[in-house]
Amino acid sequence: MDVINNQFILNKFGFLGSDFTNELQKHAIITNIKGKTEITREGQKNKFVPFLISGSIKVYSLNDGRELIYYYVRPHDSCLMTFASIFSDYTSKVYATTEEDSEVMLIPVSVMHDWLIKFPEINRVFYNEYDKRFSDVMNMVNDAVFHKLDKRVLNYIKQQILITGNNPVKLTHKEIANNLGTSREVVSRVLKKIENEGEISQTKEGIKILENENVRQF
């Protein structure tokens, strides 16, 4: 592993001490995954617990071809649902796909299972992950239940800007529709409406939020 990845390990797992770091160096696999690549799918046996070094990963379920997003894994975080599967039969209950080119550290689930006994303090990592993911899911539910579609579309765009760091951000109308569980035609009408209201602009470069302050407050 190079210096950057060693720094990632120090930041994430340094509190566990040198014995754990040596174990991690022995078993961890660092890999680069292209954007829009499926990492796991519902019903698949999980072989690894992923930790994201850079990029972003979308975790979601599918219903009649429509996506329901649970949360996004951001740099230095892990997929809690994948970790949770090691307590049952290692079977994934979700889909996970890279949103952009990503660098990921993979830990074999069998090794992680042993570490929970050998290094019990590692649970602190996953308690923190649980807190973050629970908040993400609650925000998703609140958004779906209490906000109108135009607000949900605007929030989704702001979320993608925060994840990618790009404003404008490249998003197709179909992609937004799939992620929000609606149709492309409906999304196109909503985008035109909020563009006319001065919230966004749509260009060849993508969709841009016109007030950067609104993005920071999201």
Q: How confident is the model at residue 145 (pLDDT cuts 50, 70, 90)?
A: low
| 7-119 and 143-209, same CATH topology | no
Q: For residue range 146-163, what is the model confidence (pLDDT) as tens digits?
A: 568 888 899 889 988 988
Domain ranges of the chain: 7-119, 143-209
Helix segments in the chain, DSSP class H:
3-13, 18-27, 80-84, 109-118, 123-146, 149-164, 173-180, 184-196, 212-217
* Reported pTM: 0.70
Q: In terms of residues, how long is the chain?
A: 218
CATH tag for 7-119 (out of 3.90.25.10, 2.60.120.260, 3.40.30.10, 2.60.120.10):
2.60.120.10
Which residue in this structure is represented by tokens 């042993």? 114
Return the closest-CA partner of residue 12 out of 129, 111, 164.
129
Which residue in this structure is represented by tokens 């909503």? 190
Average pLDDT over residues 176-192: 88
User: Span 143-209: which CATH code?
Assistant: 1.10.10.10
